[in-house]
Amino acid sequence: MHPALLGLFTIIIGVGGCIGYFYFSNQFLDKVLFPAKGPHAGRNINRANIVRPWLFLFPAIVALGLYLAYPVFATLWYSLTDRDQGGAFVGLANYQQMMNEPKFWEALRNNMLWLIVVPAASTAFGLLAAQLTDRIRWGSFAKSLIFMPMAISFVGAAVIFKLIYDTRPVDQNQIGVLNAVWLQFSGGAGSFLILRLLPGLLMICAAAAAVFVAYSQVKTVMEGRLSKFAAIMRGVIAAVLVYVAFAALQFAFGAFTAEHPYGVPQTWLTIPGWNSFLLMVVLIWIQTGFAMVILSAALRGIPEETVEAAIVDGANPFQVFFKIKMPQIAGTIVVVWTTITLVVLKVFDIVFAMTNGQWETQVLANYMYDKLFRANDWGVGSASAMVIMLLVSPILIWNVYNARKEMR
């Protein structure tokens, strides 16, 4: 059968099956199981109304159980068994083996680095783009350009940036944009300004911003108006931000003291340390558009009266933004941050397409893929999948907690 006809046939069967299920199940409920007639008509109607929502939810519950709950429990079981021994139960042996592998710790370390850098950078750039594009005439066109990468798959974006980072021999023209720019530097004043002073100052500013946000989190906790869970989460955030500040200062020191091999094309994706950040740029480029759209809507929802009152009181644009607008969209920022965090924890396509985890760029999802489908080690692969799930779970719990708090 032709693929188009097969697709049309599938749609008809699927839609028709749904309509048929809801129609005949309601008929069975109202006419056979709880008929609305006889001496118990009122009781049957009440019982039918109690059962009916579960009748409608039944297909979704079955689908979630089959495609979500069952794989979780199956993965947990596989992580406790050894396929080479006929599926024999081995307890935590797979987890112990995984913990003894340097590649696992490399993947975990890189995931934590992605977790710190990508959500922060994507949210910050998205907020900056949302604020600036709302102040210019052609803001809508600019937003469409910034949002456009969201339409590109992760693999497609990886291929684009792989060309940007491409390296050719010294005697050939460089088609990679980054190397073409790199070869323009020769160690003069321009090299110092762009390769040393600019990144150093940016890292110092990032460290200062991280310390400021960490201080605000600790100050909020010290006021004692938060629940224990919220206080613990803010304490964890403050600790992470202090670590970020320390790492940023280390990069700033490295930017000022590093020796640069001028005049030689660089194989950027093979340079440990820098290559992970070059991979992160791809995901930041994609997710900035998502953050911009959500935060732009939140900024437009701020009452103009509060902004006008702040301006009348003498507030400058920075004070209006940080003291008036930011507190009112804090909830939206948290939602954007956590959503991007979930994407980062599952990142696979970019690393697989650009480095395949080589040169110290391994991440957990790629490590899991290597174990499952290259080494055929289902035990360790399933154990790494459980680690990813455990890392994602606190963020999901935090989102549910905030959603319920807002509903109350």
Q: Could you give the angle at the alpha carbon of 242 between the alpha carbons of 240 and 243, nearest 5°?
A: 65
Judge whether 161 and 281 are in contact, CB under 8 Å.
yes
What's the pLDDT score for residue 284?
Answer: 92
- Give buried/exposed letters for 64-94 (b at 16+ CB in 10 A, else e): eeeeeeeeeeebeebbbbbeeeeeeebeebb
Q: Domain map of the chain by residue range?
A: 3-78, 102-177+263-407, 184-259
The dihedral built from the CA positions of residue 247, 253, 256 and 259, taken in this order, carries a sign that is negative
Q: Which two structure tokens, joined as six digits, stand for 396?
A: 């999901």
Distance CA 192, CA 255 (A): 10
φ, ψ of residue 315 in degrees (nearest 5): -75, 140
Q: What is the pLDDT of residue 313?
A: 77
Contact 329, 320 (CB under 8 A): no
What per-residue confidence (pLDDT) applies to 150? 85
DSSP H stretches of helix in 79-133: 93-99, 102-133
User: How far is it, in rounded angstroms, from Cα 337 to Cα 342?
Assistant: 9
For residues 139 and 54, give the distance between their C-alpha atoms in angstroms, rounded to a whole number. 47
Low-confidence ranges of the chain (pLDDT < 50): none
Strand partners, 81: 89
In sequence order, the β-bridge partners of residue 88 are: 82
Structure-block tokens of residue 257: 């003291």
Chain-centroid distance, C-alpha 344: 4
At 43, list the tokens.
């009781």
Residue 18, pLDDT score: 82
Between CA 81 and CA 94 the distance in angstroms is 8
Tell me the pTM: 0.77
Q: Which amino acid is at 224?
A: G
The dihedrals phi and psi of 173, each to the nearest 5 degrees, come to -70, 140
Query: Are 14 and 20 in contact, with CB atoms under 8 Å apart?
Result: no
Q: pLDDT, tens digit, for every residue of 344-403?
A: 888 888 888 888 888 888 888 888 888 888 888 888 888 888 888 888 777 777 777 776
Instruction: Answer for the pair 369, 377: CB distance below 8 angstroms, yes or no.
Output: no
Pairwise CA distance, residues 170 & 263, whole Å:
9
Q: Which amino acid is at 175?
A: I
Report which residue type is found at 339.
Answer: T
Q: How far apart are CA 189 and CA 217, in angstroms?
A: 40
Domain 102-177+263-407 architecture? Orthogonal Bundle (1.10)
